[in-house]
Structure 1
């Protein structure tokens, strides 16, 4: 029944998808002023870890390989084809159908497929959370191409997905009831913002796709910084929960329709990135606010029924190969 919905998580997902969109649209202008710079750092340090945590939270039920292929892998292939035609005929950019190298944000669909596929088996490993973090640290040493099957990102973000799968609603309620945590949040956020200003590294340290060498770090330095990124990500997942409403709101439905927003905002962003210079020119306070407003309008547009129906249809494409299987 609708009354049994977890509106808290719907609201959390709505907040996170808004931040995902804003983060992408800040990619070309975040160095234009201090506000955009801090906003980009702030969002990047936790928005994907939190989004992936929530995905894990809603992935406790094991699905068969057939359902995973239908719900995630087939849509991944379909959206790759859509992006290929968009790049080729709308953006007029030279590209190929790199199914092994996901375009833009489509790596997330591939990652979800892999995470949901391996998690039931991975959890049988002793101390699997520690193992997952260790893999996330060690992949940074590899010289593997950062976009090949999105393996670096799949391994880096996996601990957040795992955490979501073992987190129960009662755990979150207990956490949010602790008054002491609320008192230290302002201090932590201030320290965090100050650290972003003086940080000697690029905010790409939070992306998970780049190895330590490309970030101009030694292996030991890179693993230490990445471990710090993990700590910040885990803490921010908790902290941002305190800013989310628990009851149904006018935007709760957006949390139920994050997929169309995630998929289609990328097409809009790529159009502005490659066909115009508008995003690079955003600088003044008014322009910065207009950009954020534009991102909110995009979320509103792509969470509408028509786009939700499109993604829902693609994730339920009939596969004859599975038609005789239950």
Structure 2
């Protein structure tokens, strides 16, 4: 997914409500959330969950792998772009830094530790160390978002930040030495989407809403799915993970910069197609978009437990009916995890913990 507004990683997609010319400032309405952004976050999060549900089914299934590749080509770019858009007004003030600690840093520490203990159990690896510098599983996005947000004033100062961000991303693919510390490969390679979001204006988000854009999105996704199906035996879909160098993918180093530009163009087209079909009005799922942070972080436990308990061992789960049932179950679970009753106690706990550390 971003003042800690943030994709799955934070849930404050508020935009200022216009003031009445006759009303005094003190009577202005509180900030209102943008239903379009909440809808986009929720729907992209459902795709995240679907991708994790399909992951154990990829082996031996070209169709599932094609769907998996298509989803991974754009769902995290959606979150990074929205995160950037909602970071446009970020300034490194004590108040904003406090929100950053509450909304991103504290959940990162908590869930990085929790996932380490949980992975020790599910992988029978009791020696796995607890470290905050090697993000485990889902928590990489929190580390990336923290770094992106802190560097926002720099990107806002530059005249042409997007070409510079693309250069950094391309350079990362040339550098196998960029290792697991804070998952800097992903931080660098997803950076262009965040920076692009920083450069967007509100009217840019309305461009994909045009009828022509919605119509074009249909053949776009149909063609992308067909291309993904064709590419399954011919291309390594790990390029869309953006988590390693070109040589680590058994490709010549010079492939890295080329694939950076190719995947950026491909992913951006799919992001626009996705946004074209996101509802602009409030819907039954709009409220769940406000809770994607903790839904995102919590659903990983369910995904890991499902594999550990052998839920994928049944033969029927690999058939069309099983895949549809699994996808529907994943959507239902993450929807429940985004509910206010789930996110509210976690937010209070994070605020309490950070309040003990901040100066008065």
**TM-score, scaled relative to structure 2:** 0.83
Look up the SS of the partner of 1:27 in the other structure. helix
Please list the CA deviations of residues 246-302 of structure 1 after superposition, one character each: whole Å capped at 9, or x if unmatched: 111111111111011100001111112334251795310111011101101211221
Distance 1:322 1:118, change over 3 A: same
Instruction: Evaluate the alpha carbon distance shift between residue 80 and residue 49 of structure 1 in structure 2; reply closer, same or farther with a 3 A threshold.
Output: same
Q: 1:83 to 1:161 in 2, by over 3 A?
A: same
**Alignment partner, residue 49 of structure 2:** 21
Query: Is contact 1:137–1:223 with CA below 8 Å preserved after alignment?
Result: yes
**Corresponding residue to 1:114 among 132, 147, 154:** 147
- Decide whether the 8 Å contact of 2:106 with 2:354 is kept in 1: no
SS of the equivalent of 1:193 reads helix
CA deviation digits over 1:32-62, x for unaligned, max 9? 4343222211110100000111122222231
Task: Determine helix, strand or coil for the equivalent of 1:142.
Answer: coil
Partner Cα distance (2:290, 2:339) in 1: 11
Q: How many corresponding residue pairs?
A: 323
Aligned pair 1:40/2:68, yes or no? yes
Distance 1:232 1:79, change over 3 A: same
More RCO (CA 8 Å, sep 6+)? 1
In structure 1, the residue matched to 2:328 is 293
Q: Which moved more, 1:167-176 or 1:249-258?
A: 167-176
Distance in 2 between residues matched to 1:261 and 1:60, nearest whole Å: 24
Give the gaps of 5 or more residues in structure 1: none
SS for the counterpart of 1:247 is coil
Deviation of the 1:100 alpha carbon: 0.8
Which whole-Å CA distance do the structure 2 matches of 1:71 and 1:202 have between them?
35
Determine which of 331, 341, 344 is the counterpart of 1:309.
Answer: 344
Q: 1:188 to 1:88 in 2, by over 3 A?
A: closer
Is the counterpart of residue 69 in structure 1 residue 105 in structure 2? no
Q: Deviations over 1:135-178 (max 9, x none)?
A: 1111011113643211000011111111222222222223423x
Contact 1:81 1:97 in 2 (8 A): yes
What's 1:93 paired with? 125
- Which whole-Å CA distance do the structure 2 matches of 1:2 and 1:283 have between them? 49
5+ residue gaps, structure 2, are: 1-28
Equivalent positions of 1:201-216 (< 5 A) are 201-216=235-250
Classify 1:268/1:93 alpha carbon distance in 2 versus 1 (closer, same or farther; 3 Å).
farther
Partner residue of 2:83 out of 39, 55, 72: 55
* C-alpha separation in 1, matches of 2:344 and 2:180: 30
Confirm or deny that 1:78 pairs with 2:145.
no
Q: C-alpha root-mean-square deviation of aligned residues, in Å?
A: 2.2
Alignment match of 2:356 (pick from 316, 320, 325): 320
- Select the residue among 147, 170, 173 that pairs with 1:137: 170
Q: Residues 251 and 157 (structure 1 numbering): CA distance in 2 closer, same or farther, change over 3 Å?
A: same
* Partner Cα separation in structure 2 for residue 3 and residue 246 of structure 1: 18
Q: Is the 8 A contact 1:72 1:315 kept in 2?
A: no
- Residue pair 1:91, 1:275 contacting (<8 A) in 2 also: no
